[in-house]
Amino acid sequence: MASEVQGVVALAKGEPVSLVTIVVPDPGPGEAVVAVQACGVCHTDLHYREGGINDEFPFLLGHEAAGVVEAVGPDVTSVSPGDFVVLNWRAVCGQCRSCRRGRPWYCFDTFNATQKMTLTDGTPLSPALGIGAFAEKTLVAAGQCTKVDPAARPEAVGLLGCGVMAGLGSAMLTGEVGLGDSVAVFGCGGVGCAAIAGAVLAGAATVIAVDLDPGKLELAQEFGATHTVDASTEDVVEAVKALTGGNGADVCIEAVGNPQVMEQAFYARDLAGTLVQVGVPTPEMRIDLPMIEFFGRGGRLKPSWYGDCLPSRDFPLLVDLYLQGRLDLDRFVTETIALADVEEAFHRMERGEVLRSVVVL
């Protein structure tokens, strides 16, 4: 029997979100229904509401979630009812050309549930990033569920489902930060602070946080930044160089999604250093770099999709590090809120007041 539950839906472009009754079908082949326990509020949810992703309204928002599997489709063996899971938005296919070459974290054919959740009048919902977890229950592909240690707090580990994983992975996986490296992170929101935490875990010796907001720079230090640069008053490139023996950082991570910041990160790198792009640009953004600078500096420019993570490999490991007290995921949770408070949380996010507001069910 399909369930009727409450969910946060963006009905029309730019309109405040509504808490409405939605219909969640029973899981079919390859699918699972998850009782959501916690779901973080991410900028991407707001982008959906503003029509910035596509026009497939109505959207069921929410995608940084943890919960308990309630039911699985007939052929599902990877998870069972009762499992505590973190949801991911890149369920890898195992069969595309990238998966077959042994690079499943780049999977070119990730997938979601086949059936649609709907409004009570039958209108199909588009779940944000194929998840839709601002709801008491959601229907996903079983491959979007990664089983982790149930001792973990859902509101903390659910954040691995998007921004925090993207940030950690941008340093640890895409940037391949290693022991003794110098790292500069540009933009210290949830993603940038996670990049800082990832750089620290990976053994970076110097971790420079760059932001316009003094409050964010303070938070960055709590996550282990060794130095801060106030981009509203300082010459960012010169400041990063001054903190790295005049050379620039081994790894620079752009975590804003801004062309000017991308250029700063490019020039703040040491020779043969790595520039990681984790901030998501809009289609009209351009960068203009002299080719000779690109060549002459050497190194690597790497976009980071979801931190180049492999959820099945990385979520359980990171949850274990969290439970051992070596990765402070609790610090990302600025506040816990109810489903009815998502609209207000968007405003707090826009004002830069939170790393993450997390809906707790």
Binding site for ligand NAD (CB under 6 A): 43-44, 162-163, 166, 186-192, 210-213, 216, 231, 255-258, 261, 278-280, 304-306, 352
Residue 255 touches which of Zn ion, ligand NAD, none (Cβ within 5-8 Å per kind): ligand NAD
Q: Which of 23, 38, 107, 185 binds Zn ion (CB under 5 A)?
A: 107
Nearer to ligand NAD, 29 or 214 (CB): 214
The whole-angstrom separation of Cα 219 and Cα 208 is: 12
Q: How far is the CB of 147 from Zn ion (least distance, A)?
A: 20
Q: Does 61 interact with Zn ion (rule: CB under 5 A)? A: no
Nearer to ligand NAD, 143 or 279 (CB): 279
User: CA 65, 169, 359: angle at the middle one, nearest 5?
Assistant: 20
Residue with the shortest CB distance to ligand NAD = 189
Q: 85 — phi, psi (to 5°)?
A: -135, 150
Which one of 11, 53, 93, 201 is in contact with Zn ion (CB under 5 A)?
93
Q: Is 44 in the site for Zn ion (CB under 5 A)?
A: yes
Smallest separation, CB 78 to ligand NAD (Å): 23
| Amino acid, res. 343 | E
* Min separation Cβ 270 and ligand NAD, Å: 20
Least CB distance from residue 123 to ligand NAD, whole Å?
Answer: 28
Residue 14 tokens read as 């730019």
Q: Which span (93-101, 167-175, 224-232, 248-256) binds Zn ion, by CB under 5 A?
A: 93-101
**Binding at 99: pick from ligand NAD, Zn ion, none (beta carbon under 5-8 Å per type):** Zn ion
Where in 109-138 is the site for Zn ion (CB under 5 A)?
109
305 binds, among Zn ion, ligand NAD, none (CB under 5 to 8 A by kind): ligand NAD
Closer of 79 and 210 to ligand NAD (Cβ):
210
* CA dist., res. 14 & res. 263, Å (int): 31
Least distance from ligand NAD to the Cβ atom of residue 174, Å = 9
**Among Zn ion, ligand NAD, none, residue 107 binds (CB under 5-8 Å by kind):** Zn ion
Judge contact between 104 and 98, C-beta under 8 A. Answer: yes
In angstroms, the CA 256 to CA 283 distance is 15
309 binds Zn ion (CB under 5 A): no
Of residues 26 and 234, the one with the C-beta less far from ligand NAD: 234
162 is an interface residue for Zn ion by CB under 5 A:
yes
Q: How far is the CB of 350 from ligand NAD (least distance, A)?
A: 8
Closer residue to Zn ion, CB minimum distance, 164 or 327: 164
99 scored as a contact of Zn ion (CB under 5 A): yes
Q: Which of 11, 19, 68, 96 binds Zn ion (CB under 5 A)?
A: 96
In what order do the strands lie in the sheet containing 18-24? 118-119, 18-24, 3-10, 59-60, 126-127
Of 208 and 345, nearer to Zn ion (C-beta) is 345
Give contact residues for Zn ion (rule: CB under 5 A). Answer: 42, 44, 93, 96, 99, 107, 109, 162-163
